[in-house]
Amino acid sequence: MLRNSVSARDTGWGCYTRYFPFSDILSAKVGSYPSFTWISICSARELIGEAILWRVGNGDRINIWNDPWLPGRGKNKIFVQEIRPTWKTVNQLIETEANTWNGEMVHNLVDKTTAARILSSPISGSSSEDMIVWKHEGFGEYIVKSGYRVLTTAYLQNTTHTSSNDNDYKEFYQALWSLNIPEKIKIHSWRLVNNLVPHFGNLARKTLCVEVICSLCKADLEDSDHLMLSCGTLQCVWASLQVKIPSFEALLCYKNHFVRTFSAADEQQKRIIVISIWGLWFQYEQDLSQNQENLRHSLRSMVKDLWRPRDYGVIKINFDATFQKEERLATTAILARDSTGEIVGAETYLFEDVVDAFVAEARACERALIFARMMGFLRLIVEGDSLTVIKSIKKKGEDKLVLRPITHHICKMGLHFDEVSYLFMPRTVNGAAHTLVLEGRRRKVCGGWVNGVPESVMMVAMNDRLAWNQCL
């Protein structure tokens, strides 16, 4: 990946032939009298080196002990106090005939936590090559935007950006960055506290707008102090969510007031505070640019987003999955319906050692084809609400997604049917499969629903059929 990216341009090709003709870009030395281009490339090698990851194919190129290959965005190298030289490459940990990890050997070599990460990594049923990927993007390719985001996030997490040494600020930033919420929400809160948001107050100072009144409450000047504490709309939201606002001395500035309010809250209320602030800002931004388009889209969706039966002889299979992050458990659901909308088969299945929600959805699609073969279906429409999975299946050639081994297996299984196609559908249209997966997880059902699906699933399927008939 790195060599190809460097050799893509003339300057990159010159660096390749001059500085690392017999090695790779990560191990090459700066050398004597380096060019400005090569110095610039070398300055970013630390970022690249810490963020690349081996995606397991057949495993014969990956060193168990020295290469980064554990899935996830944390530390990707195996940390052990004793290296077992008998086992060198990852392919030695794979049961070739069964195409599964050798769980007993993995547990003998590493600790329980590391073993769970290894066993959660999908492996391919074919002899696909191992490949290096960029771990901070789901599709595995490095882009400048992603590299900038990684550097910015690391920079923000390692500095408080305030001249004050007050412990309140240190505790605030530590608590903010440790919250289990999306990074973009935490970054928005940091920007707001440090007055780095393009609100009307900042835009007016740069003569970029005339309006200065808050567009949410229509009452006061819109600035950072207003948006993070005193906005009437925000106050109403917090009151409805029972967020407690302690009283402090009147001379305290809004920034300090907000920091102390946040620090005094419990873990749940801290999340509510920053998510509500981000949610109001995000909704306001959306309203500015997409209000009319959203209305038109909603009207179109009322007609377009319906479950639709297929032609006679074609079975439509909807799949869905739930993912429990802490337990690394996934529940998948398969719901098959004929051309009249009648349910002709259903299954829920439980998976252990699942790395993320995308893998869970891919496993659900894989189970859909396995179920179809068991039922003897020949012509299929397979639908799910994971666009990433559907795109990966339809993509020609190899990709670098962690789903690659699963989607490759799905494509191979598809050759056993007379006709099969894969379609994306919104969650609102996938309600029957979603209800089934929730029932399967609650009841811990692993296998076919031979005595019929739950009443809740029947009701959603019936409503799908009625809604479609009303549109005819």
Q: Say if residues 388 and 401 touch (Cβ distance below 8 Å).
A: yes
Convert the pLDDT of each residue in 59-96 to its tens digit: 888 999 989 999 877 788 898 767 788 889 999 999 88
Convert the pLDDT of each residue in 93-111 to its tens digit: 998 877 789 999 999 999 8
How far is 265 from 267, CA to CA, in rounded Å? 7
Question: What was the pLDDT predicted at 166?
Answer: 56
How far is 60 from 383, CA to CA, in rounded Å? 35
Convert the pLDDT of each residue in 400-411 to its tens digit: 777 888 988 899
Question: What was the pLDDT predicted at 221?
Answer: 84
Question: What was the pLDDT predicted at 472?
Answer: 60
Mean pLDDT over 319-327 rounds to 92
Question: What was the pLDDT predicted at 382?
Answer: 97
For residue 283, which amino acid is it? Q
Two structure tokens written together for 456: 């809740």
How far is 314 from 308, CA to CA, in rounded Å? 12
**Which one is predicted more confidently, 287 or 422?**
422
Predicted confidence (pLDDT) at residue 342 exceeds the cutoff of 70: yes
Question: What was the pLDDT predicted at 5?
Answer: 42
Question: What was the pLDDT predicted at 128?
Answer: 75
Q: Look over the chain and give the mean of its residue pLDDT values, rounded to a whole number.
A: 82
Least confident of 149-158, 166-175, 326-335: 149-158
Q: Say if residues 401 and 128 touch (Cβ distance below 8 Å).
A: no
pLDDT band at 157 (very low <50, low <70, confident <90, very high): low
Query: Is 452 exposed, middle or buried, given 0-12, 13-18 or 19+ CB atoms closer than 10 A?
Result: exposed
Residue bearing tokens 């110095």: 39
Annotated domain spans of the chain: 44-146, 161-284, 315-471
Two structure tokens written together for 446: 């692993």
How far is 305 from 271, CA to CA, in rounded Å? 33
Question: What was the pLDDT predicted at 385?
Answer: 93
Query: Would you say domain 315-471 falls under CATH 2.40.160.40?
Result: no
Question: What was the pLDDT predicted at 292?
Answer: 45
CA distances from 428 to 218, 316, 431, 460, 468 (A): 34, 17, 6, 11, 14
Convert the pLDDT of each residue in 378-394 to its tens digit: 999 999 999 989 998 98
Predicted confidence (pLDDT) at residue 345 exceeds the cutoff of 90: yes
Question: What was the pLDDT predicted at 162?
Answer: 46
Convert the pLDDT of each residue in 436-466 to its tens digit: 999 999 999 999 998 999 999 999 999 988 8
Question: What was the pLDDT predicted at 446?
Answer: 94
What values do phi and psi take at 383, rounded to 5?
-125, 140
Predicted confidence (pLDDT) at residue 307 exceeds the cutoff of 90: no
Convert the pLDDT of each residue in 204-233 to its tens digit: 887 777 777 887 888 788 888 888 888 888
**Which one is predicted more confidently, 374 or 299?**
374
Question: What was the pLDDT predicted at 213?
Answer: 84
Question: What was the pLDDT predicted at 334?
Answer: 97
DSSP code string of 195-225: T-S--HHHHHHTTS-S--B-TTTSSSB-SHH
Work out the angle between the directed axes of helices 387-394 and 357-375 (0-180°, nearest 10): 60
pLDDT band at 248 (very low <50, low <70, confident <90, very high): low
Annotate 11-21 with b (16+ C-beta within 10 A) or e (fewer).
ebeebbeebbe
Query: Is 364 exposed, middle or buried, given 0-12, 13-18 or 19+ CB atoms closer than 10 A?
Result: buried
CA distances from 166 to 173, 178, 222, 310 (A): 12, 19, 27, 65
Mapping DSSP onto H, E and C, the string for 133-152 reads: EECCCCCCCCCHHHHHHHHH
How far is 369 from 409, CA to CA, in rounded Å? 10
Residues 6 or more apart whose CB falls under 8 angstroms from that of 424 comprise 383, 384, 385, 386, 387, 390, 391
Least confident of 130-134, 178-182, 306-310, 330-334: 306-310
Least confident of 154-158, 239-243, 278-282, 324-328: 154-158
Most confident residue range from 183-197, 201-215, 361-375: 361-375
The DSSP secondary-structure symbol of 228 reads I
